[in-house]
Amino acid sequence: MADEIFSYEPATGARLWSGRVGDPAAEIADARRDWPKWAAQPLTARAEIIRRFANRVKQDSETIADLIARESGKPMWEARNEVENVVAKIDIAVKSYADRTSQRLVEGAHQARNALRHKPHGVMAVIGPFSPSMQVPVGHIIPALLAGNAVIFKPSEKASAVGELLVRTLHDSGVPTGILRGVFGGPEQGKALATHPGVDGVLFTGSARTGIMLNRYLVDRPDKMLVLEMGGNNPIVVWDTHDIHTAAIIVAQSAFTTAGQRCTSARRLIVRDTLYDRLMGEIKTLAGRLIVGEPHSNPAPFMGPVIDNETADAMVESFVILMTNGGKVIRHMTRPIDGRPFLTPGIIDVTAMQERPDIELLGPLLQVVKVATFEEAIAEANASRYGLCASLIGGTAAQYDQFWANVRAGVVNWNRGTIGAALAAPFGGVGLSGNHRPTSFYAADYCAFPVASAETDQLRASIGIGLRPMAEDADASPMPLAMAR
């Protein structure tokens, strides 16, 4: 039926969830009606409800992790990590709101006060990705609710089951049903939600293409808050290091965790020519040892499938295009299970390619570029319209300072991979990776706006210049010129 939507387990192909396609306009109307009551509550009351949500997630952690694993295909160990991060984000969100939006009072002239407070925007639309299907939406929803906004949440159509569970858990924790609404559907519902005049802000995580479309849709609505958290063509640079084995582990983790489907996954490995043979030998061997399997397999897999067969087909096609346009295969990407979207890690040297595609290939595919100088490495890292994250493995402190100062990215790491950004730090990118609205610890900045006030308990005013003397009649007409003489 056209009014139904389904979600499937990528590892098995089984139908996991079904529901009705949502009506964004109806949900927005409900939220606008109930929002003033929520905004009028004390912050402490809203924070208490949010903390109850954290406790409920802890209690149901295994059930939640199981659903995340089944719907995304990621291994259970990784789904459990996601649930732990959801819980951790709650305390961080409360601390962040207090830190970023604290009330300030400063004594002014004549016993006046200059006050700074923050107000919520109103009704916020949160449009989430399929991975991480709970952690990322929580990073928008919780700060928005804390600030006093109502939220309309549209999960990815490929993560509807987890999206419904998230909405239900928040309601069970005490968030009023009119304040948090769920809308299920595809791009049509997302567009209707984002462009509705009753929505005061759009908090989006997903592809650069969709983010650019949202930016165009809202070009004549400068009053509407727009937060774009998009993907990356992320570089990881390996320079002088004696520990080639550990460097290879960091690269493999960055490129292949979550089957390469994180926005922070390393897409491009830039390596010094003198390290190339040893490093690529280690990475190739390690990639061949990675277990690819179903979420609940025993032994536990390192990575599961990509989200669907369409994605798997596109990744294999991309590998072939790179190979036929000058790429040198280091490790072939294969489909180990017919009819299912499992992929083995693919590695290809694209140094000799005349034109390298600057796109986000959302899967376990690592492109390798060999360079001779550190300046070449930085230039290669910046050879992208994206700018989410970048990592330097090895090198000296002075080289890291040079890397940090010159590389274009919102997250810059040294001797750490590109994935696993700190929850208590701002997170966001530049270029096609974001619009300078970092999330995580800085999420409060786009969930409430500052209001400056000058205040005093008594009326005080005077006009000290530009008045006629009291003896003159300010209402009298000017004398005729003849009389004035």
pLDDT for the residue numbered 110: 67
Mean pLDDT for all residues in the chain: 94
Q: Where in the chain is the domain with CATH 3.40.605.10?
A: 4-230+436-453
pLDDT above 90: residue 458: no
pLDDT for the residue numbered 275: 98
Q: Where in the chain is the domain with CATH 3.40.309.10?
A: 234-422
Mean pLDDT of 24-45: 96
Q: Comparing 1-5, 42-46, 49-53, 354-358, which segment has the lowest mean pLDDT?
A: 1-5
Q: 203 near 127, Cβ under 8 Å?
A: yes
* Among 437, 442, 43, CA closest to 202: 437
Whole-number Å distance between alpha carbons of 201 and 445: 13
Whole-number Å distance between alpha carbons of 406 and 285: 33
Whole-number Å distance between alpha carbons of 157 and 417: 30
Whole-number Å distance between alpha carbons of 227 and 52: 27
Q: Comparing 321-325, 388-392, 465-469, 471-475, which segment has the lowest mean pLDDT?
A: 471-475
pLDDT above 80: residue 111: no
pLDDT for the residue numbered 484: 44
Q: Which residues contact 302 (CB under 8 A, 6 or more apart)?
A: 75, 256, 257, 290, 291, 292
Partners of residue 392 on adjacent β-strands? 237, 414
pLDDT band at 160 (very low <50, low <70, confident <90, very high): very high
Whole-number Å distance between alpha carbons of 34 and 167: 17
Q: Is 287 left (phi over 0), alpha (psi -120 to 50) or beta?
A: alpha
List the structure tokens of 447: 């969930």
Q: Which residues contact 455 (CB under 8 A, 6 or more apart)?
A: 112, 113, 114, 115
Residues with catalytic function: 229, 263
Dump pLDDT digits (tens) for 309-324: 999 999 999 999 999 9
Mean pLDDT of 406-424: 95
Neighbour-count burial of 70, counting CB atoms closer than 10 A to its CB (0-12 exposed, 13-18 middle, 19+ buried) = buried
pLDDT for the residue numbered 475: 55
Partners of residue 118 on adjacent β-strands? 450
Whole-number Å distance between alpha carbons of 148 and 122: 8
Mean pLDDT of 286-308: 97
pLDDT band at 477 (very low <50, low <70, confident <90, very high): low
pLDDT above 60: residue 192: yes
For the chain, the first-to-last Cα distance in angstroms comes to 95
pLDDT above 80: residue 41: yes
pLDDT for the residue numbered 237: 98
| Distance (Å) of CA 186 to CA 13, 22, 127, 128 | 19, 10, 11, 11
pLDDT above 70: residue 161: yes
Phi then psi for 439, rounded to 5 degrees? Answer: -95, -155
pLDDT above 70: residue 482: no
Dump pLDDT digits (tens) for 249-282: 999 999 999 999 999 999 999 999 999 999 999 9
Mean pLDDT of 76-102: 95
Phi then psi for 238, rounded to 5 degrees? Answer: -110, 120
Domain spanning 234-422: which superfamily? Aldehyde Dehydrogenase; Chain A, domain 2 (3.40.309.10)
pLDDT for the residue numbered 485: 44
pLDDT for the residue numbered 457: 84
Task: Measure the CA dihedral 142/143/149/153, to 10°.
Answer: -50
Q: Which residues contact 145 (CB under 8 A, 6 or more apart)?
A: 38, 46, 49, 50, 151, 170, 175, 179, 180
pLDDT for the residue numbered 483: 44
366: Cα separation from own chain's centroid: 22
pLDDT for the residue numbered 478: 53
The bridge status of strand 113-120 relative to strand 448-455 is antiparallel
The bridge status of strand 104-107 relative to strand 430-431 is unpaired
Mean pLDDT of 372-397: 98
Whole-number Å distance between alpha carbons of 440 and 457: 39
pLDDT band at 2 (very low <50, low <70, confident <90, very high): low
Q: 164 near 17, Cβ under 8 Å?
A: yes
Whole-number Å distance between alpha carbons of 89 and 142: 9
| Angle, CA of 115, 116 and 122, to the nearest 5° | 130
| Secondary structure (H, E, C), the chain | CCCEEEEECCCCCCEEEEEECCCHHHHHHHHHHHHHHHHHCCHHHHHHHHHHHHHHHHHCHHHHHHHHHHHHCCCHHHHHHHHHHHHHHHHHHHHHHHHHCCCEEEECHHHCEEEEEEEECCEEEEECCCCCCCHHHHHHHHHHHHCCCEEEEECCHHHHHHHHHHHHHHHHCCCCCCCEEECCCCHHHHHHHHHCCCCCEEEEECCHHHHHHHHHHCCCCCCCEEEEECCCCEEEEECCCCCHHHHHHHHHHHHHHHHHCCCCCEEEEEEECCCHHHHHHHHHHHHHHCCECCCCCCCCCCECCCCCHHHHHHHHHHHHHHHHCCCEEEECCCCCCCCCCCCCCEEEECCCCCCCCCCCCCCCEEEEEEECCHHHHHHHHCCCCEECEEEEECCCHHHHHHHHHHCCCCEEEECCCCCCCCCCCEECCEECCECCCCEECCCHHHHEEEEEEEECCCCCCCCCCCCCCCCCCCCCCCCCHHHHC
Dump pLDDT digits (tens) for 130-150: 999 999 999 999 999 999 999
Q: Comparing 15-24, 106-115, 149-158, 317-326, which segment has the lowest mean pLDDT?
A: 106-115
pLDDT above 60: residue 1: no
Residue range 4-230+436-453 in CATH 3.40.605.10: yes
* Among 22, 362, 315, CA closest to 187: 22
